[in-house]
Amino acid sequence: MKQGFTLAGVLITLGIIGVVCALTLPSLIENHQKQVTITKLKKIYSVISQQVLLSNSNNYPANEFLTAGDNVNASKTEEFFNTYWLPYFKGATILNKPYNTEYPYKSINGQSYKTQIKTIFSAGRIVFSTSDGFIIFISTMYWGNNDGDTVSNPKYSTEMTILVDTNGTQSPNTLGKDVFRVTINYDKNNVMPYKINDSSDNIDKDCSKTGKGETCFAKIVKDGWKIADDYPW
């Protein structure tokens, strides 16, 4: 007599496999997404760091080209980006308004992140894409007048704000998830995750479900280039 599996036994086994998959698959997908994010961050951090060193070596020092405190000038801003940035990124393309809104990013707490992502040379700002799918926003300025109600008179700064969107225009467009903040100091020619020298408490407070997420890149680096269990993923 030949023996085999009963239909009931096969169905029960398939049911168990389905439950196991349902329980483990989301975790596997999440871990993969985290690893992809880390890989992209390492890549763009390295590229920007090399670009800062090379562009300063090949040209006048950037802090001499854009003097801190000078009024922002559209043609000078455009020349700066064309000289110090775009030649060092493969397939770099300037974007006027890459998203369907000028304020596309969200803080990690779900609120709108109030930074206009748009190329405006007269305001010292540029957005460009790279051939490997990054969108990079750079602001070279600060507001010369800021009384809380009115901001005006943009002036150059040698400490620049960089926002990197690791997957282009794809969602979630959220700080700490696919958008990360970097600071460049052209007086020291260094590139650092935003506020990496702050205390761990301050970094963790901002990189939390109630924070903006501006320090999440700093948290990843301080945690050994990994997304730790307490990360608000």
Each residue of 99-114: pLDDT tens digit?
A: 999 999 999 999 999 9
- 3 or 199, which is more confident: 199
pLDDT value at 77 more than 90: yes
Q: CA 153, CA 174: separation in Å to the nearest integer? A: 29
CA distances from 150 to 94, 146, 168 (A): 29, 6, 32
In angstroms, the CA 160 to CA 138 distance is 7
pLDDT tier, 31 (very low <50, low <70, confident <90, very high otherwise): confident
Across 23-32, 184-193, 214-223, least confident range: 23-32
pLDDT at 150: 58
- Count Cβ atoms below 10 Å from residue 108 Cβ, excluding itself: 25
User: What DSSP designation does 100 have?
Assistant: S
Residue 1, pLDDT score? 55
Read off the pLDDT band of 122 (50, 70, 90).
Answer: very high
- Burial grade of 41 (CB within 10 A; 0-12, 13-18, 19 or more): buried
Q: Return the higher-pLDDT residue of 29 and 87.
A: 87
Q: Quote the mean pLDDT of the chain.
A: 91
Region of poorest pLDDT, from 14-28, 172-186, 206-220: 14-28
Q: Which of 138, 131, 215 is nearest to 168 (CA)?
A: 131
Given a cut of 90, whether residue 148 has pLDDT beyond it is no
